[in-house]
Amino acid sequence: METVTLWRPTGPKELALVEASGWRAWPPRLPDQPIFYPVLNEDYATRIARDWNVKHSGAGFVTAAEGLIAS
């Protein structure tokens, strides 16, 4: 099976919730999050984390997850 890497920019509050899940689940969107979306490009995720998460929460992080591509 083929896999794809999904990159997810996130702020510190959301990252703490992911950590609390044992790194196994994303929480429901936080009230100040307009949308939830992973991206296919690490550079783009880094720009979002830098330009949006840092501006709104003081820090930005990029997570990565491997997912199976459905056929």
pLDDT at 60: 96
Q: Average pLDDT across each block of 10 residues of the chain; the chain has 71 residues. List them in order.
A: 93 93 87 78 95 93 92 76
Domain borders along the chain are: 3-68
CB 5 within 8 A of CB 60: no
pTM given for the model: 0.80
Please provide residue 10's backbone torsions phi and psi, each rounded to the nearest 5 degrees.
Answer: -155, 160
* Cα separation, 14 vs 40, whole angstroms: 20
